[in-house]
Amino acid sequence: MEAGQADRTELAKEQFAGLFGKKPSVTVQVPGRVNLIGDHTDYNDGFALPMAINRYISVAGAPSSGGGVRVVSETVSGDAILNVDTPMKHPSGWERYAAGLLHLARAAFGELPDFKAVVTSSIPKGAGLSSSAAFAVALVGMAEHLTGISLDPISKARLCQKAEHIYAGVPCGIMDQLAIINGCRDHAILLDCRNCKSVHVPIPTDEVSLLVIDSGVERALSDGVYAVRRKICEQAADCLGVGALRDLSLETLNSQSDRLDDEQNRRARHVVTENERVQAFAALARESDWINAGILMRESHVSLRDDFEVSVPELDLLADEAEAIGTSGGVYGCRMTGGGLGGCVIALVKPGAEKRISAKLANRFDYAFGRLPTVHHVRGIE
């Protein structure tokens, strides 16, 4: 049973009171996100369609006189005094990321008081639901409350993104942070990652349900594959004389394919076709055409698997079994979601069919891999 937003925040408050013997003065709740379609497009200045979901990181905190910044997180079994002056003194890990984020926040705000905080989370860590961005946005939110200074949404997203680059070692795009900051109930956001503009796209709960199925394969995006993919995309754009792969149509790419090697061609083809799929999906969602939207999800999975090569057998099995169930069995579409190399698939299913589909997919997964995946029936934020 997932704890809801209120429960999770209550837990953070209780833990704070238990640890520090007083009530917290500030609480912040920040959702995770799932990407419906559009992966590895954000750092190519392209399009994505993420949705903030009802899984949250909560932070309860209060300023303290002296003692530095102390953060306690049950999720990582962590309790640390953060070295905000010199974040790199922390060996890698969440402490460096949190310290680095607050280092950047202090530079942006010009001040940051000492404080204590407790973090609780219902966003599984490392599963592709962006606990990393939610954690950062939540800590910046805490810093905003404590200083009384607010950042505009895009500056806040950029600050969090920068922290993830420098201090977590993940050269991520800006999709996650913006999806979390701009999320709204029952809507995904169609995000243009070039100018950070977004428009809301309705995902009505009475028409479609979202199942996020965690393969349990832990991704390690900082281990280099993500950075290599990103570099190849940039090289391909350079070779073709465009600012980013976003600037290419499939026709132009195909007509100039001899200027790229095979790997660059395949990576670029994924990005270019994925951008087209994202925009087409948003248009179909507006017409409640979930059948055709689901077909685009399948195409996206195949493209990420074959052209971008960031799937793994566990994700392929879930996507293939969902495809086999098909619309007659209640599945509109299914694809890996997030950076890949582990993590989750997302399935768009008919309301009422969630349990049956979850059980079937879990059963097939168990048969193939000898263990059960974790199924989350998620909704938009409350």
- The residues carrying an active-site annotation are 176
Give which of ligand ADP, Mg ion, none residue 127 binds (C-beta under 5 to 8 Å, depending on kind): ligand ADP
Residue number with CB closer to Mg ion (122 or 130): 130
Q: Least distance to ligand ADP from the beta carbon of 123, Å?
A: 6
Residue number with CB closer to Mg ion (68 or 169): 169
Residue number with CB closer to ligand ADP (15 or 132): 132
Closest by alpha carbon to 65, among 12, 22, 9? 22
Q: Least distance to ligand ADP from the beta carbon of 349, Å?
A: 22
Residue number with CB closer to ligand ADP (158 or 360): 158
Closest by alpha carbon to 76, among 33, 125, 115, 129? 125
Of 9, 121, 132, 273, the one binding Mg ion (CB under 5 A) is 132
Q: Least distance to Mg ion from the beta carbon of 265, Å?
A: 28
Q: Quick check: 125 and 72 in contact, CB under 8 A?
A: no
Q: Least distance to Mg ion from the beta carbon of 267, Å?
A: 21
Query: Across-strand partners of 82?
Result: 69
Give which of Mg ion, ligand ADP, none residue 115 binds (C-beta under 5 to 8 Å, depending on kind): none
Under rule CB under 5 A, residue 177 binds Mg ion: no
Q: Least distance to ligand ADP from the beta carbon of 42, Å?
A: 14
3-state secondary structure the chain: CCCCHHHHHHHHHHHHHHHHCCCCCEEEEEEEEEECCCCCCHHHCCEECEEEEEEEEEEEEEECCCCCEEEEECCCCEEEEECCCCHHHCCCCHHHHHHHHHHHHHHHHCCCCCEEEEEEECCCCCCCCCHHHHHHHHHHHHHHHHHCCCCCHHHHHHHHHHHHHHHCCCCCCCHHHHHHHHCECCEEEEEECCCCEEEEEECCCCCCEEEEEECCCCCCHHHCHHHHHHHHHHHHHHHCCCCCHHHCCHHHHHHCHHHCCHHHHHHHHHHHHHHHHHHHHHHHHHCCCHHHHHHHHHHHHHHHHHCCCCCCHHHHHHHHHHHHHCHHHCEEEEEEECCCCCCEEEEEECCCCHHHHHHHHHHHHHHHHCCCCEEEEECECC
Span interacting with Mg ion, options 112-120, 125-133, 189-197, 305-313, rule CB under 5 A: 125-133
Q: Least distance to ligand ADP from the beta carbon of 327, Å?
A: 29
Q: Residue numbers of the site for ligand ADP (CB under 6 A)?
A: 57, 73, 75-76, 94, 97, 119, 121, 125-132, 135, 168, 170, 221, 338
Span interacting with Mg ion, options 2-10, 19-27, 128-136, 364-372, rule CB under 5 A: 128-136
Span interacting with Mg ion, options 26-34, 123-131, 178-186, 299-307, rule CB under 5 A: 123-131
Residue number with CB closer to ligand ADP (57 or 319): 57
Residue number with CB closer to ligand ADP (164 or 274): 164
Position closest to Mg ion via CB: 132
Give which of ligand ADP, Mg ion, none residue 126 binds (C-beta under 5 to 8 Å, depending on kind): ligand ADP
Give which of ligand ADP, Mg ion, none residue 128 binds (C-beta under 5 to 8 Å, depending on kind): ligand ADP
Residue numbers of the site for Mg ion (CB under 5 A)? Answer: 130, 132
